[in-house]
Structure 1
Amino acid sequence: MTFFYVILAAIFAVFLVNFVKGLSEPAKMERYHNEFRKYQGETLDLRATEIVSEALIEKLNKALDFDYMEKVNTEFRLKHPRDSQLKVNQAWRELKRYLIMAAVFGKVEMFNSVIDELWHIMLNYRQEYDEFCQVFIGRTIQHHPHSEPVFKPDERTLFDFYYVQLFTVDSHSIQKWGKFFKHDKGLTLLRDFETLELEQLKEKYMRKPTSIQAERTFESFTSQFKENRPMTELNWRKTYDQTDYAAPAYFTYASTDDFDSEFKDIFGNEPNTVSSGSGHADHGGHTGSHDSSSDSSSSCSSCSSCSS
């Protein structure tokens, strides 16, 4: 008989918890809506470098309209109730940066499971997602998940190579993506962009087809490798300290034997923990003090997990 009462009490407790949760969820949603409206403006500034076409950023922000973004944001926060809106805005910034890279380049892996989750929620609203992609670049950015563990240092180096040229690298970047150039400095990539002709680079590295704004960004990206960089490299430390612009530091880093000591405050230290990343963008789309201990960074590929 005692056992019967224990079971009954347990059932009642579960019912009570679910009842209270049901009452509190509308209040949570209202709070999340209000906080999103208050801080949404922060998500518009991607802190991109001058390489990224302003028109491309404007198209991204226009395509990801307020109502769609708010729905995705609310669903994400219900799954992560301990995360403040300011923290979620950091994930939005990095997802939008990722989408810029996916619009410009032929293949970009995803290396953060939290950011990928935000992307997956966007995909759950299929009509809105397709409309977003059409307004953004006129093509769907596809997502093909991978469940098996896959270690992809080359793809991670490619991601890092693109990222540090297009965007500032700050503590939020390191927290989300972990250490940059952990596996390789990207010297083969650097050699390609320094020596190949523009049309060859487009054939090998650019997403096709894409928007004219994304193509202009690719052309701007390639042009910096053809220019004389001695003064830029000479002032790399001052440039980074004042602006978080890491490209001049990268060019210096790539030309030295130094893998960590002088540049660890820019590109990060070895992470203490590594968690899974998931998803990648491919041709035709969604096919995909600084501290590098990351809240969800990974150096393995999309929708996979491994220990690097």
Structure 2
Amino acid sequence: MTSAIIAGIIVAALGVCGAVAAARRNAADGKSAFRGRPPEALGVPSDHPARTVAERLEASLGGDFESRVKERVVRSRPGLKDGEWDWIWFELKRFFLMSGIARSVPMYSGRIDEAWHEMLMFTREYEQFCQNFCGAMIHHAPHTAGTEPDRSERAWFDWIYGELFPPSPASARLWGPFFRTALRPELIGRLEAADRTEWLAERFRGDTAARHEDIAAVIDYLIGRFKEQAAAARRNAERRSEPASGDAWTVGAMSGFLVYASLVDYDGFQERMNERLHDRRNDGTGGCGSWSGPVVGEGGKAHGGDKGAGGNGDHGGGDGGSSCGSSCGSGCSS
């Protein structure tokens, strides 16, 4: 046997060992992402205007309703662990909160969408939940194979999510990588100049805001935040400086940088976001609260997240690099 053949065998064996080790690490990361109990009130800070909205949503879902939905999900996924279910249910509730505020919220997670489908089987209870929470139905739009949401819609999803909730290791595991898609600069400019009526017509729910003062307050807060972040991004661009990274991983920290990077360096957006995410993982502020494991890997593709209903690697994630970019969407309507 020649030395070249022996060397080839050794290289191949090392490759197999590396692949096995990587698979084991991914499996371990997946398990650790679902450790611990989800925080109360969906993790919304006590001084955030969305806190009362989150508390009402939690109160609108009885424990018996959850247990019946879980029973149906477990029937189709007998290996589902309690810890994983807790986080799936938790992130579904976060999705509902977003859907009670925003006009259209695409669904980027196959596992969360599966729980939503089973929840819809309890028609009367689901309708009562929607009425108690936001005063209108949160409709489910079925996924159409081969379709995916507009790229900017994932960026918009990430921005709202980041403005409402602190991250958890389970977040990116279920939703796919966050902050991998830029907002279009023309969209930022249009929204920056828009008044409240135009925002409601394009992005937020006027009907639920009319029924609940706290939802109206959250909408006003988000409009103000976006305008402030866009104005700050332009000031920083003029000064040729980046926004400070801050001392802690807090709600709104990365969403603000999303607006900045989208506006000042649209073509280099991914590189800028990767640098900021890397800095936060290594400056002692990210810790377990960082945007979990998914990072941009080989070829610029985003890895990690949830296997779901189609799409591409830039939008959602999939364990091992597959993706979820479902066209499932929602909106509250009368």
TM-score, with normalisation over the residues of structure 1?
Answer: 0.70
| 1:184-223, Cα deviation, whole Å (9 max, x unpaired) | 3343443233221122211221124114232221111111
Amino acid at match of 2:122: Y
1:277 pairs with one of 309, 315, 323: 309
The 10-residue stretch of structure 1 (162-171 or 58-67) with the greater mean CA deviation from structure 2: 162-171
> Equivalent residue for 1:24?
none
> Equivalent residue for 2:140?
143
Contact 2:162 2:252 in 1 (8 A): no
2:248 pairs with one of 235, 239, 264: 239
1:137, distance to aligned residue in structure 2 (A): 0.8
| 1:265-288, Cα deviation, whole Å (9 max, x unpaired) | 46642334774338xxxxxxxxxx
Contact 1:104 1:218 in 2 (8 A): yes
> Equivalent residue for 1:177?
175
Establish whether residue 300 from structure 1 lines up as the match of residue 322 from structure 2.
no
Q: 1:41 to 1:239 in 2, by over 3 A?
A: closer
1:40, distance to aligned residue in structure 2 (A): 11
1:70, distance to aligned residue in structure 2 (A): 1.6
Establish whether residue 215 from structure 1 lines up as the match of residue 216 from structure 2.
yes
1:251, distance to aligned residue in structure 2 (A): 3.8
> Equivalent residue for 1:46?
42
Equivalent residues in 2 for 1:1-308, closer than 5 Å: 42=38, 44-48=40-44, 51-152=48-149, 153-210=151-208, 211-212=211-212, 213-227=214-228, 229=232, 234-240=243-249, 245-254=253-262, 255-256=264-265, 257-260=268-271, 261-265=274-278, 268-269=295-296, 270-272=301-303, 275-277=307-309, 294-295=318-319, 298-303=323-328
C-alpha distance in 2 between matches for 1:128 and 1:293: 31
Gap regions ≥5 residues in structure 2: 1-34, 237-241, 279-289, 311-315, 330-334
What is the number of residues matched between the two proteins?
251
Q: 1:294 to 1:245 in 2, by over 3 A?
A: farther
1:128, distance to aligned residue in structure 2 (A): 0.5
Q: 1:51 to 1:202 in 2, by over 3 A?
A: farther
1:107, distance to aligned residue in structure 2 (A): 0.8
Q: 1:46 to 1:89 in 2, by over 3 A?
A: same
| 1:4-27, Cα deviation, whole Å (9 max, x unpaired) | xxxxxxxxxxxxxxxxxxxxxxxx
Contact 1:253 1:263 in 2 (8 A): no
Amino acid at match of 1:44: E
Contact 2:156 2:183 in 1 (8 A): no
Aligned CA-pair RMSD = 3.2
TM-score, with normalisation over the residues of structure 2?
Answer: 0.65
Q: 1:162 to 1:189 in 2, by over 3 A?
A: farther
Contact 1:164 1:247 in 2 (8 A): yes
C-alpha distance in 2 between matches for 1:85 and 1:74: 11
Matched-pair identity in %: 24
C-alpha distance in 1 between matches for 2:100 and 2:318: 26
C-alpha distance in 2 between matches for 1:238 and 1:155: 29
Amino acid at match of 2:244: N
3-state SS of paired residue (2:166): coil
> Equivalent residue for 2:239?
none
Contact 1:155 1:301 in 2 (8 A): no
Amino acid at match of 2:270: F
Q: 1:110 to 1:275 in 2, by over 3 A?
A: same
Contact 2:50 2:215 in 1 (8 A): yes
Amino acid at match of 2:81: S
Q: 1:187 to 1:56 in 2, by over 3 A?
A: same
C-alpha distance in 1 between matches for 2:69 and 2:248: 36
Gap regions ≥5 residues in structure 1: 1-38, 279-291
Contact 2:91 2:112 in 1 (8 A): yes
1:160, distance to aligned residue in structure 2 (A): 1.9
Q: 1:119 to 1:40 in 2, by over 3 A?
A: farther
